[in-house]
Amino acid sequence: MDIENGKNSKSDKNSGDSGHGPRLVIFGAGGRVGRAAVAEAVSRGHRVTAVVRDPAAHRDLEGAGVSLVRGDATDAVSVAALAAGHDAALHTAARLDLPSEEYFTAAAKALVAGLGEAGVRRLLTLGIATTLETAPGVRLMDAPEFPAEWRAFAQGHVAEFELLTAEAGPELDWLMVVPPLDLNAEAERTGGYRTAVGSVVEGPGRIGHADLALALLDEIERPRHSRVQLAVSH
């Protein structure tokens, strides 16, 4: 297991204060992780395009440094139009009204095509902890007692990862960031996190949305991992 006590774990808030940091487009900005990422990016002085399916339901996202727009992460034309002029993209969206594999593969295909058209070279997408390994070749979702309905949802992220691996060319530097099973909305920001590549991070298996957003923005500002599952936890 490749575990790091990242030197990025204490955010340098001044890194983006000049307003010249990455311009970021966030698909799924209305969700909890998306909102935390918007807040973290704005706090660093970055400009954010917050993409949601229904802007009227998320007017509170609008503000200094944030443009709220309607868009669809499964539509390559929409992705290309909204991502043009940005330095990086973040995909945190999910669709519970569609089969998991259908949504996440459609999004991966559209993001690869759309970001390529727009000339965006960095993509972070959000994974799920059940796809991580607990031992070489053994994932959480492979346990015999693992609920079938959870396995079906996790399989969507597996398919997304496989599609990105197969279809994203060298011009797209992508990363799947994976929070632990306990992604806790009530957890306070600590300013720290640990990482592991492809496997569960040893320890409490818990992180809050604010610290997950910290890890996401650290990887956007100073990319250190590429084309892997990067587990993030306290």
Q: Which of 191, 184, 132 is nearest to 3 (CA)?
A: 132
CA distances from 152 to 9, 55, 142, 158, 189 (A): 33, 30, 11, 10, 31
Share of the chain above pLDDT 90, in %: 87
The arithmetic mean of pLDDT across residues 147-170, rounded, is 96
| Residue 194 three-state SS | strand
Rounded to two decimals, the pTM is: 0.91
Give a three-class secondary structure readout of 73-106.
CCCHHHHHHHHCCCCEEEECCCCCCCCHHHHHHH
pLDDT at res. 89: 98
Mean pLDDT of 134-145: 95
List 67's β-bridge partners, or say none.
49
Determine what percent of the chain is predicted with pLDDT higher than 70. Answer: 91
pLDDT at 2: 42
Tens-digit pLDDT profile for residues 88-126: 999 999 999 999 999 999 999 999 999 999 999 999 999
**How much is the pLDDT for 77?**
98
What residue segments make up the domains of the chain, in order of their start? 3-233
Cα gap 134→139, rounded to integer Å: 6
Q: At what angle do helices 209-221 and 32-43 cross, to 10 degrees?
A: 50
Residues 133, 130: Cα–Cα separation, whole Å: 8
Rounded CA-CA distance 42/11 in Å is 13
The Cα 79–Cα 72 span in angstroms is: 7
Instruction: Return the residue matching tokens 């070489």.
Output: 136
3-state DSSP helix/strand/coil % of the chain, to nearest 5 = 40, 25, 40
Q: How far is CA 95 from the centre of its chain?
A: 15
Of the listed ranges 13-27, 98-112, 156-170, 188-202, the least confidently predicted one is 13-27
Mean confidence (pLDDT) of the chain: 92
pLDDT, average across residues 52-57: 97
Distance of CA 197 to the CA centre of its chain: 15
3-233 sits in which CATH class?
Answer: alpha beta
